[in-house]
Structure 1
Amino acid sequence: MRRGNPWLLGMLLSGTALSLVAGVAAAQTTAPSAVPPSTAAPANTTDANTLNDIIVTANRRAERIQDVPTAITAVSTDTLHEQNISTPQDLPGKIPSLMVTSNGTTRNAETVVIRGQGQSYLAPVGVVNYFAEVPLIQGAIISNQGGPGTFFDLESLQVLRGPQGTLFGKNTTGGALLLGPAKPTDKFEGYFQAQVGNYNDREYEGVINVPVDDKLAVRLSFRKVDRDGYTKDVGPQAFGYGYVLTPNGPSNGFAGKDYDDRHYDTVRLGVNWTPTERVENYLVAYYTQSHDNGTGLSISDANTGANLSNLAGNLFYRQPTDPLYGSNDPTIAQGILARQRALGPRETALNTNEFDDLKVWSLTDILKVDLTDTLLFRNIFGYQRMKQGYAWDLDGSILPLTAQNPTLVVAGTPGSFGQVGQGTNITNLSQLSVEPQIQGKFLADKLNTVVGLFYSDVQPEGLQALGSFNFGEPGMVLYSVKTQSKAVYAQSDLDLGAYVGALDGLKLTAGVRETWDSYDGRRYASSYFNIPEAQASKTAAATTWTVGLDYRLAANTIVYGKVTRGYKAGGFNMVGVQQDGLTYAPEHVTNYEVGTKTDFSVADIPVRLNATLYDMEDDGIQRNSADNAFNGFQNASGLDQGARIFNAGASTVRGVELELSVRPAKGLELSGSYAYMDAHYNNFHIDIPPDPLVTMKDTCSGPLAVPSPYLPGAKAVSANLSCIPFPFAPRHQFNLNARYQYDLGRSLGSLVGTANFSWVDQQFASSISTPAGEPGATLAPYGLLNLSLEWQDLLNRPLDLRLFVTNATDKVYRISNSNLTDTAFGSSASIYGEPRMYGLSLRYRFGD
């Protein structure tokens, strides 16, 4: 395994070793640590006159959530269990300003968007998911981070909103999801849970925690999920055809196959070793494997103009003797669309034998050494591997229009990309990260400081290729992209009362980070005739920072204001078909935020109200679209078909976020949140290259004529898109929660009932189209109701019996659109949210 810049890695690892020696030497004294542990579980309070204190790590140290001057929501492991939150897709509507989408790709992509900042296809994510403080590895093509199974056996889930430009491992423009696995404890305890439900749902989960002695504890957990899909393939026969065209030739289709199923296994091991009172080492490793039948896409729109959808229908489903054969007559494509609409969203027919196969394993080691009573050294080491292969039918129909799949190296491929017949993966990557830091407390704990380094190296570990089946022709893109990120950062918060007594409670926070990002990408595409082989590399530097003030007005009330600068790296586009589309630039965002956090009582009823107002100014936000380049009819479509990542001009996102909790009576807690978001572009223009099929583009300045490549001297034209809606930025979101716990008495146990209703406003799914140009990109608003009832300590035994239902009203709603109607493809496909799910689980607890 080769790694670039070994001097930095050596320096970091050497620093770890030297600090460990220093820590062991310092451990000869017995003074306890002056710095709290890095993570802690939420403290669940049952007193009717108090609300729960949740411990968070937004500043890389443990603090009460109400003391942290930033927009953060924490969800306890009990809430995750009671609200049936097991994947990121269960979060929209429950966290202010947060959406999760497939971003026009596969359901498993699970792209997190916060305050309109997310991910463009093929680009880095704008919201990074962390597991045990290590950023999760990202897929090479779709934006899945890590694998399934990270949402169980957690201490808490923390969602940080706004750019994280200083303290966290990777720069982000939107925020961060912090998944903190439950650490081993000094108690022998555990549980085993079994769950059954509709769609043949069978899930098993277990945890065992064993303290070996007073210095060593081990925690082993596992989760196994098997559930049938809720979208069925009805075969081409349901559309009036006896066959479909696949990369392997004509086929009878895939009638009877179910999509949107779940099948995965994950196992996790945690080892916590405390050789002395000043040294602690936490090792956590997990392995996850997943295999399912892919995404149940269904064609949802098709235009009637000259495009590949209509041409594909005529070429592959009309007889050569028909006078319309080879034309762009829309009869067949429109007929397929009409039949799909009649079938509804839970039935489809594809010409691709879809699947998704994923393997991820991870090793994280967190070393903590108390150097002195006021200085703490921490080193966070992570190594991850991801292998993924999938087949994906982008057009969601029997049309042989556009699909992705694994492939073999074909003849004509340069030898540096592998040998003919060699197998590939769509993702085959490793990620190494190291983050040493020093934390200190000074001036009687009125000054807190964190200084650290960060290094990340992502490398291909084998051949990676994307097979395509576009317009009935197989193709292949082999790619190798190496990325590195190096950073140094420092942040401090100072209570000014350390110098002026009258200013006690007024705290100044300031931080700065210098980041150096680099990438080296190359690709070979057998199906690209204009630029079959390409290479690009670049190194860029960015300075990000944060500065803020917060003031404690009363014992339980703080107000704050801050300005934060964030950044997201540029990169190499392995499926670019235009010379200027092979790379894309970084994006930068400045966030202005004010807020308050307060606990108070009304007639002895405890109330918690947190409010945030923000204004985010973005420069160069990354947006994507399908991209086609005329190749002189060197293939059947006459196009090199790929994608492009644009950097938009300036944009603004403003909003308000409110979170409220009330405990009006013993056992009853009511809570909710509301988010308002106004997102718009200030300046967004893109160049539209000559296109042999698209003749007109709807823009904010009216219809724009797209030049034909057949005309001499045809050049790209500029399109004004400044008025289009921001993607995945609903104007309104809210959720309402009720939880009631009732003691049955007489050693019968207790009942816990929960109800959650979340509502998401209308949102737009396209990056470079107007609503008129891409009508299917407007996703309708929807509301979801989830209910559960749990009998805890069943008949005074360590058993918990739970009944649950999600999407209780069986709401049908779309979560994604492929946005190809406005391009040469001429059609789009949709992904729908889960139908009503219900089931029963039984948990047996043992030990302390």
Structure 2
Amino acid sequence: MKQRQARAALFVTSAITALVGAAPAFAQSTLNEVVVTARRVEERLQDVPISITVYNQDQLDQRNIVTATDLATYTPSLTTNQRFGPEKSSFVIRGFTQESGTSPSVGVYFADVVLPRAQGGTTSGSSPLPGAFFDLQNVQVLKGPQGTLFGRNTTGGAVLLVPQKPVDRYEGFVEGSLGNYDMWRTSAVVNLPLAETLRVRMSVDRQKRGGYMKNKSGIGPSSYNDVDYWAARLGIVADLSEDIENYTIFAYNNSYGRGYASRIELCRASGASGGGALLGPLACAQIARQNARGDGRLDVEVNNPKPLIDLSQIQGINTTTWRASEALTVKNIISYSEFRERASFSLNGENFRIPTGLPGAGQPFNYILLNPPPQPGGGNSIQSTFTEELQFQGNLWEDRFVWQAGGYFELSEPMGFSEGYTAILLSCTDVRTLQCINPTGGGQVSWSRTKTKFDNKGLYGQGTFKITDRLSLTGGIRYTFDKIKSTGESTRIRIRPGAVGGFQDIVCNDTLRFNVPDGPDPGTSPDPLVVSSPEACRLSLKQKSDKPTWLIDLDYKPIDDVLLYAKYARGYRQGGINMTNVGIETWGPEKVDSYEVGGKASFGGSFPGYFNIAAFYNDFQEQQITANLIARPESGLAGGNAIVNAGKSTIWGIEVDSSVTLFEDLRFDLGYAYLDTELKEIDIPTLPADSPFLQVIPTAEVGRPLSFSPKNRVTLTASYRLPLSEDLGDLSIGATYVYTDPQSATSSQVSPLWKLPSTNLLNLNIDWKNIGGRPVDLSLFATNVTDEIYPVSVGSSFISAGFESVLYGPPRMYGMRLRYRFGADS
């Protein structure tokens, strides 16, 4: 370990020395200047002492980036956790992963405002939905803690989506796309200057694509992993005076599809205990059916009759900027957003049949099937979020000291109960009324109803002082106050063994029990779930934390086009509440101390480009980790999952981002990330004596790497502009190669398939703009050209259920886009 760190330090030192040594050869870059807002003000990318990857809209289009998983494909330091499907994926940067039920470790911001919160039973929300990556000025991926200016829950970094702002000219386009898997997409943008002081921009994006996972069960849809979304945006800029600008933006996204499907790949026919003794052999039978049909890895067998993942998000943002003087700018950012989710999916992708000799023999039954509430307005997650930020920016002593300070308030409230019904080891025709067969005697319905309120406040300040014209010192601090209040009526309903006949007893929050030995008579009793008396099951909990985050940075510019920096930052992620696990319902915040050195250089001349490098070391403590709960035999429960502060890890690595243009028309872009993560300690929490759970088993092991943290990732893009006359247009071809090392899908070896293999992905694009001198553009694209079939996550059910399922990434996709531009852009 120490030898690897020493070699890495030597490599970074050599690279930085080379930058300085070559300084006389550098000239003012002839490349277009890239402007970023990584420090909440507009700055040149090469002047910001942060490791950043930036994509403009053309680069997003060329790479066919539509979802969060697409963005992660091309960004070496960015991966995603796709355990619950691509639409519900969460970002991972530098090993910082969002476990189910925790707050994000990578903050995602749209127009300077954090995306809406969600608080459901599975990870979702706080991440861009499909359709978010169109009509953008750029996307900025900031690596490392950003706690001072962006707040808590950015321990891994932040992703900034900057929309195109209305401009003072008439322009726009309409676009249509076609591709394989019956893909079609249409987009349109129009920018209207309604007056000298009023500008409007409207955009819409719609896409549908069939699923690539083919379902062979004969139950439910014929395919999974489809795409079906709407996205619309309205931006309005009003100049209230020469010094006051008001910018309002409304955004709407809806993604409605059949969700993901996983494929059972491994089983244990014998030797298992508990549920695995039954489910393992059934999984082996399913694998045998798959093999007999000659199924491929994109063929699944799922018995969910009505799967869906319906995600919708609205967000309204108003930013008022007052340039009070040359030395002071006041900005107020206010927003309101809503997030809704309705989902029904089989957690592990099974098509099990009740074995001969058990009640209901031959009928399909599920291991774990998640369902939405029946009422139209209800959802698995329904949450609103209000934010208000007042920001002051200024400079003193002829720009020698540049500063900003502000206050932040966020209130996220439930719009009703976030609830869902989970059928476990049951065959149900109607979960709501408990029309279920319990063939194993261990079946139950988990009915989860929660309301969670987040109250977050923060005060921050940051300033940069120029010690000399070349040497600057930056310092910043933020103090955050977090409150969480959660009310739950979580109920586990144990179904009577045998044929349909109601419930056996009810367990509220794993502590209160309503014994109903015989159960009500079907068809004559009131709603069984009403019998559980939600008020009696109600439990309310609170969790508070207040923590500082800070930044100290020293940067030096030996010449204008070279920046060297060293910094130390503290980041923290707030804790949370899980209502269903008595004794360990809450978990506390985690913190990270990050140390980073880096260098940036841009160069002109015959081969213009840039070269950026950063090396970092993170001391990660009080790590939030998912743990499996083993129930006491006398409790009658099926176990559960909890979040515990159980870990301490070290994380270090190197990141390189560079570009060079040869012969004016040939450009190469290189991104590289080396990441070394290791879980150093686990402190297992002690359960109370009256807990219904016997044991806490973290899904992590000391000495193992953190999940979704490949050691090496390389992205290489080559683009060549053909030397055509202007009458023919502008034709360019491009190729992107992405290599990813093997990585862990979980931080332990509870599953034999815990390690995802390496991948080699090749994507191609051809862009022909201004065809024949007309405002018409044609693009051809192909992703995963070699049709590599690769896993992206695993179910981690081998120990508990005796089988394992795997989620797979998209196969080869290809298509074409045709765009017509009008107005000033034509």
Q: TM bucket by the smaller chain?
A: 0.7 to 0.9
Letter in 1 for 2:336: Y
Is 1:431 aligned to 2:385, yes or no?
yes
SS state of the match for residue 632, structure 1? helix
Hey, what does 1:494 align to over in structure 2?
A: 465
Separation (CA, whole Å) in 2 of partners of 1:69 and 1:75: 18
Separation (CA, whole Å) in 2 of partners of 1:121 and 1:220: 35
User: Which of residues 332, 337, 346 in structure 1 aligns to 2:298?
Assistant: 346
Q: 1:299·1:340 contact (CA, 8 Å) conserved in 2?
A: no
Shift of 1:290: 2.0
Separation (CA, whole Å) in 1 of partners of 2:699 and 2:63: 45
Is 1:478 aligned to 2:459, yes or no?
no
Letter in 1 for 2:595: Y
Hey, what does 1:364 align to over in structure 2?
A: 317
Q: 2:409·2:456 contact (CA, 8 Å) conserved in 1?
A: yes
TM-score by length of 2: 0.84
Shift of 1:573: 1.1
Provide, for residues 45-68 of structure 1, a one-character-per-residue CA deviation record: whole Å limited to 9, x for no partner. Answer: xx9973332100111100000000
Hey, what does 2:196 align to over in structure 1?
A: 214
SS state of the match for residue 656, structure 2? strand
Structure-2 change in CA distance of 1:484 and 1:827 (3 Å): farther
| Bigger mean CA deviation after superposition, 662-671 or 484-493 | 662-671
Separation (CA, whole Å) in 2 of partners of 1:720 and 1:99: 19
TM-score by length of 1: 0.82
Shift of 1:659: 1.2
SS state of the match for residue 30, structure 2? coil
Shift of 1:190: 0.2
| Bigger mean CA deviation after superposition, 70-79 or 144-153 | 144-153
Structure-2 change in CA distance of 1:625 and 1:225 (3 Å): farther
Hey, what does 1:290 align to over in structure 2?
A: 255
Separation (CA, whole Å) in 2 of partners of 1:689 and 1:436: 44
Hey, what does 1:517 align to over in structure 2?
A: 482
Is 1:506 aligned to 2:471, yes or no?
yes
Hey, what does 2:608 align to over in structure 1?
A: 606
Is 1:157 aligned to 2:139, yes or no?
yes
Provide, for residues 87-144 of structure 1, a one-character-per-residue CA deviation record: whole Å limited to 9, x for no partner. Answer: 1111235223211121x22331121000001201110000011000110013323233
Structure-2 change in CA distance of 1:541 and 1:200 (3 Å): same
| Bigger mean CA deviation after superposition, 342-351 or 605-614 | 342-351
Hey, what does 1:114 align to over in structure 2?
A: 93
Q: Percent identity?
A: 33
Separation (CA, whole Å) in 1 of partners of 2:699 and 2:156: 27
Is 1:653 aligned to 2:654, yes or no?
no
Equivalent residues in 2 for 1:590-605 (5 A)?
A: 590-600=593-603, 604-605=606-607
Structure 1 spans left out of the alignment, 5+ residues: 1-46, 237-252, 314-329, 409-420, 498-503, 691-707
Hey, what does 2:820 align to over in structure 1?
A: 844
Hey, what does 1:147 align to over in structure 2?
A: 129
Q: 2:267·2:284 contact (CA, 8 Å) conserved in 1?
A: yes
Letter in 2 for 1:516: F
Letter in 1 for 2:612: N
| Bigger mean CA deviation after superposition, 720-729 or 677-686 | 720-729
Letter in 2 for 1:270: G
Separation (CA, whole Å) in 2 of partners of 1:277 and 1:653: 49
User: Which of residues 619, 622, 639 in structure 1 aligns to 2:621?
Assistant: 619
User: Which of residues 770, 777, 795 in structure 2 aligns to 1:818?
Assistant: 795
Separation (CA, whole Å) in 2 of partners of 1:553 and 1:425: 57
Shift of 1:687: 5.5
Shift of 1:513: 0.5
Shift of 1:766: 1.3
Hey, what does 2:184 align to over in structure 1?
A: 202
Equivalent residues in 2 for 1:306-705 (5 A)?
A: 306-307=272-273, 310-313=276-279, 330-340=280-290, 342-352=294-304, 353-399=306-352, 400-408=366-374, 424-472=378-426, 473-497=444-468, 504-527=469-492, 529=507, 530-531=510-511, 533=537, 534-574=539-579, 576-577=580-581, 579-600=582-603, 604-630=606-632, 632=634, 638-686=636-684
Structure 2 spans left out of the alignment, 5+ residues: 1-26, 353-365, 427-443, 494-506, 513-536
Separation (CA, whole Å) in 1 of partners of 2:40 and 2:273: 53
Provide, for residues 757-815 of structure 1, a one-character-per-residue CA deviation record: whole Å limited to 9, x for no partner. Answer: 11111110114x23xx3211111110111101111101111000111100000010111
Separation (CA, whole Å) in 1 of partners of 2:695 and 2:99: 26
Q: 1:48·1:663 contact (CA, 8 Å) conserved in 2?
A: no
Shift of 1:280: 0.4
Is 1:98 aligned to 2:78, yes or no?
yes
Separation (CA, whole Å) in 2 of partners of 1:483 and 1:427: 14
Shift of 1:728: 0.8
Separation (CA, whole Å) in 1 of partners of 2:253 and 2:695: 49
Separation (CA, whole Å) in 2 of partners of 1:748 and 1:354: 49
Shift of 1:720: 8.7
Structure-2 change in CA distance of 1:718 and 1:53 (3 Å): closer
Hey, what does 1:726 align to over in structure 2?
A: 706
Structure-2 change in CA distance of 1:340 and 1:513 (3 Å): farther
Structure-2 change in CA distance of 1:643 and 1:495 (3 Å): same
Shift of 1:716: 6.5
Q: 2:568·2:595 contact (CA, 8 Å) conserved in 1?
A: yes
Q: 1:93·1:733 contact (CA, 8 Å) conserved in 2?
A: no
Separation (CA, whole Å) in 1 of partners of 2:584 and 2:798: 21
Shift of 1:288: 1.9
Letter in 1 for 2:599: T
Shift of 1:688: 9.2
Shift of 1:828: 2.7
Structure-2 change in CA distance of 1:754 and 1:660 (3 Å): same
Separation (CA, whole Å) in 2 of partners of 1:371 and 1:124: 37
Separation (CA, whole Å) in 1 of partners of 2:201 and 2:348: 45
Shift of 1:148: 2.2
| Bigger mean CA deviation after superposition, 218-227 or 618-627 | 618-627
Structure-2 change in CA distance of 1:311 and 1:682 (3 Å): closer
Separation (CA, whole Å) in 2 of partners of 1:732 and 1:817: 21
Separation (CA, whole Å) in 2 of partners of 1:375 and 1:631: 66
Q: 1:688·1:718 contact (CA, 8 Å) conserved in 2?
A: no
Tell me how many residue pairs correspond in the alignment.
719
Separation (CA, whole Å) in 1 of partners of 2:822 and 2:417: 47
Shift of 1:605: 1.6
Provide, for residues 169-192 of structure 1, a one-character-per-residue CA deviation record: whole Å limited to 9, x for no partner. Answer: 544100000000000000100000
Structure-2 change in CA distance of 1:149 and 1:54 (3 Å): same
Provide, for residues 482-515 of structure 1, a one-character-per-residue CA deviation record: whole Å limited to 9, x for no partner. Answer: 1111000000011112xxxxxx210000000000
Shift of 1:674: 0.9
Letter in 1 for 2:337: Q
Separation (CA, whole Å) in 1 of partners of 2:700 and 2:676: 20
Q: 2:556·2:564 contact (CA, 8 Å) conserved in 1?
A: yes
Is 1:785 aligned to 2:762, yes or no?
yes
Separation (CA, whole Å) in 2 of partners of 1:49 and 1:554: 13
SS state of the match for residue 583, structure 2? helix
Letter in 2 for 1:199: Y
Separation (CA, whole Å) in 2 of partners of 1:392 and 1:803: 34
Separation (CA, whole Å) in 1 of partners of 2:543 and 2:683: 25
Shift of 1:599: 1.5
Letter in 2 for 1:683: E
